Amino acid sequence: MISLLANEFVRQGISTAILSFAGSQQAYQLDPRVETVSAGEVSEGSMAVRIKRLANMRAYFKKNEDYRIFSFSTYGTGFVVLSTLFMKRDMVVSERIDPESCDHKLYRNFFYLFARRLVCQTQDCVECFPKILQKKAVVIGNPVSPDIPPRFEGERKKRIVTAGRLEPQKNHHLLIEAFAAFSREHPDYTLDIYGKGYLEEELKQDAGQRGIADKVIFHGFCENMREEIRDSAMFVLSSDYEGLSNSLLEAMAMGLPVISTDCPIGGSRVCIQNDRNGLLVPMRDVSALCAAMSKIAENSKYSQNISKNAEKIRNQYKISEIARKYIEL
């Protein structure tokens, strides 16, 4: 999200910088005109590292007094507020996840009060916040990358794909369990999982215990994932909560038949019209997820219709339009 917006801003001639407050690693390609700044390393609880980080941020904001600040991180918002005390800086905060999943709501709500506006991805997200923050809120969706490849035309490979961090939120265990049931009737399919995370070994063990270790393939982080998955049979998002999933939007924009849990904060429900451009299934429902995968696998005409309708999402979430809305704020 941040890299897409930054690249679009500089394309429009707007000076743009990305300030990271815990390291400097970049996962996505940036336009060379985007300035990148690291305020410090991961603190690991060190107060000295945090104080140095705040000092570095304050020095940077003083040097660039004309910059508007868009914060895309709950903790980052706190650091921005503390590092700009008495500087009268404008800030827009963008909430990136289900607000109910936050473990530090009092911290978050206090620092969000300092923002001029609060950007949420869905109306359900807005309603999770106290009334005083709801008054600041506006709904803006996520952009679809302009580099998304076109919809695949031809016979799709028998691959079910998913993409996301290997963490509890994404509930890959649900997907593996549903795939194990699906695989009994469709033994020639594989489950391809893209992403990294600390649950990888646990998920591999889960697949092994279900007798499908040879059919569940872990790819890790993949820079050319779009090209790798565009001819797959379907994309599945099994999360327990999401904002508006970028991986789901991109899969739809590529014309992949998609299945998603109907999880908070309603992001999947916003972009999926059930049985028209994708399928919604109840959260943590193994049988429903297995049935949805079978429905796509067993009906090529239905799958093709879903694919064609899903591709239209790329026009609804153009990067130029999303960037315009942020600029107007």
Give me the residue spans of the domains in the chain.
Answer: 2-145+318-328, 157-315
Dihedral sign from CA coordinates of 252, 222, 172, 242: negative
Give the pairing of strands 35-38 and 69-71. Answer: unpaired
Name the band, by pLDDT with cuts 50, 70 and 90, for residue 224: confident
What is the CATH code for 2-145+318-328?
Answer: 3.40.50.2000
Residue 76: CB atoms within 10 Å: 19
Give the pairing of strands 157-163 and 279-281. Answer: unpaired
pLDDT at 42: 85
Residue 27 confidence (pLDDT) above 90: no
Q: CA 157, CA 160: separation in Å to the nearest integer?
A: 9
Name the band, by pLDDT with cuts 50, 70 and 90, for residue 243: confident
What is the CATH code for 157-315?
Answer: 3.40.50.2000
Radius of gyration of the chain (CA): 21
Q: Give the residue-averaged pLDDT of 136-165.
A: 93
Type of residue at 256: L
Mean pLDDT taken over the chain = 94
Common-topology check for domains 2-145+318-328 and 157-315: yes
Residue 222 confidence (pLDDT) above 90: no
pLDDT at 147: 85
pLDDT at 150: 92
